[in-house]
Amino acid sequence: MSQFTDEPLHFRTPYRESPSLSKLTGLNVWLKFENGQPSGSFKIRGIGHMCQKCVLKGCKRLVCSSGGNAGMAAAYAARKLSAPITIFVPQTTSNLTVQNLKQEGAEVQVIGSVWDEANDAALEFTKQDGFVYVPPFDNPLLWEGHSSIIKELDSKPDMVICSVGGGGLLCGVVQGLQACGWNDVPVLAVETVGAHSFNEALIAGHLVTLPGIASIAKSLGAKTVCQGTLEVAKEHPIIACTVTDKDTVKSMSTFLDDEKVLVEPACAASFAVLYNGQINKLMQERVELKNVKKVAVIVCGGTQITIGQLNQWKKEFDV
């Protein structure tokens, strides 16, 4: 029997100024450290919220198809709610990831050579009575949970910067800004080149599916963003931009020195625009950014990184 709790499964994370980034950019840069969440990333906010709703309605089993940050958040949420969960991952998933999921109490099914095949298996499995599929980014309940990030800020920022993968975090950030009455606060939505499906969608005016993910930022690796991102882009000031993998790796290394925090590339993309000077160019070009002084950066976290991997990328990109 599942044990329901209406207490949030996420933590209120630290939010503080970054003296180094403030000095570098000439702005008042504040960092929201979502890497401090129990599952390692912001994902627990939305996924925890959705899982609670599902358990409250009496679901028999949660089902997810992510060996990444979404999967870890779902496994953690299920354990805290005493709810059974099955997570489908492809054969490319590392043994360490599988063990981490099992350590959280999840049943893990390794199926297919790519994520799409594992996801198809998860969707088929979910057809059983009382089983509920927990998506990684495309669901209003997820966005509602993610919106709590903004509600924890101590004062109104002039701009919010966040990374975009499938778009769940972006939708949640905009929802949070609107809930706070901060409808005029622009959001800088950052992707890495090679995983820039949102940028392409904004240019085209409709969803665009990339032929593949050609970036090391695998956690941003949604070939198609959710429809919700285009909807929020119509009703809120959103500026999309991209950074290179090399600048992302360089920013990971510098951020580790400056803030003593190791993050994965998908997270580092959000502050790479500060380290590489791109923010200054954008502020000169975009009228909606001309009066920006205080910047809130969502350090979204992520578990898919080690010092060894960072050093390997530094060598690969000659950083």
More confident residue, 21 or 214: 21
pLDDT band at 5 (very low <50, low <70, confident <90, very high): low
Among 133, 160, 186, the domain-final residue is 133
Structure tokens given for 163: 């990374």
- Note the pLDDT of residue 299: 97
Structure tokens given for 310: 């960072």
With a pLDDT cut of 70, the percent of the chain lying above it is: 98
pLDDT band at 3 (very low <50, low <70, confident <90, very high): low
In this prediction, residues 142-157 reach a mean pLDDT of 97
Residues 292-313 pLDDT 10s: 999 999 999 988 889 999 999 9
Whole-number average pLDDT of the chain = 93
More confident residue, 279 or 165: 279
**pLDDT at 253 > cutoff 70:** yes
One domain, residues 179 and 68? no
- Note the pLDDT of residue 4: 58
Nearest to 166 by CA among 121, 124, 112, 210: 210
More confident residue, 272 or 303: 272
One domain, residues 177 and 309? yes
One domain, residues 240 and 258? yes
Which three-class secondary structure state does DSSP give residue 301? strand
- E strands, the chain, are 15-17, 28-33, 61-64, 85-89, 107-110, 131-133, 159-163, 187-192, 238-243, 294-299
Cα distance from N-terminal residue to C-terminal residue, the chain? 52
Q: How far apart are CA 71 and CA 276, in angstroms?
A: 32
**pLDDT at 93 > cutoff 90:** no
One domain, residues 35 and 57? no
One domain, residues 36 and 55? no
Q: Is residue 3 part of a domain?
A: no
In this prediction, residues 36-45 reach a mean pLDDT of 95
One domain, residues 147 and 234? yes
One domain, residues 154 and 92? no
One domain, residues 52 and 37? no
Q: How far apart are CA 71 and CA 66, in angstroms?
A: 4
Q: Which residue range(s) make up the domain with 58?
A: 43-133
Q: How far apart are CA 217 and CA 268, in angstroms?
A: 9
Residues 157-187 pLDDT 10s: 999 999 998 899 999 999 999 999 999 999 9
Helix (H) or strand (E) holding 319: none
CB atoms within 10 A of CB 94: 11
Q: Is residue 1 part of a domain?
A: no
One domain, residues 128 and 242? no
pLDDT band at 1 (very low <50, low <70, confident <90, very high): very low
With a pLDDT cut of 90, the percent of the chain lying above it is: 79
One domain, residues 27 and 107? no
One domain, residues 24 and 56? no
- Note the pLDDT of residue 220: 64
pLDDT band at 83 (very low <50, low <70, confident <90, very high): very high
**pLDDT at 199 > cutoff 80:** yes
Among 85, 110, 133, the domain-final residue is 133
**pLDDT at 141 > cutoff 60:** yes
The CATH number of residue 110's host domain is 3.40.50.1100
Count of the separate structural domains present in the chain? 2
One domain, residues 259 and 295? yes
| 0.85 surpassed by pTM | yes
In this prediction, residues 251-276 reach a mean pLDDT of 96
**pLDDT at 210 > cutoff 90:** no
